[in-house]
Amino acid sequence: MDQTQKQALQVTKEIVVKFIETNRISPNTFPELFGDIYRSVLGTIRNEAGTGTPEGDDDPEAAT
């Protein structure tokens, strides 16, 4: 896992915690929404850094 992926994971965790605290995410929707939020955050970080596309080949979620 590279530094960009670690940053995206940390930001995603913080976003998801806030959503849980405000009852926007339930345990039933957590698995689906976590992946969607992670991909969105990762894509944003990569686009800002100019290091690739949101759906790049090295995206760990793309393989699953």
What local confidence, expressed as pLDDT, does residue 63 receive?
44
Exposure letters 24-37 (e unless 16+ CB within 10 A, then b) = ebeeeeeeebbeeb
State mean pLDDT over 40-60.
70
Binned at pLDDT 50, 70 and 90, residue 64 comes out as very low
Higher pLDDT, 60 or 41: 41
Average pLDDT taken over every residue of the chain: 82
- pLDDT of 49: 74
Predicted pLDDT of residue 35:
94
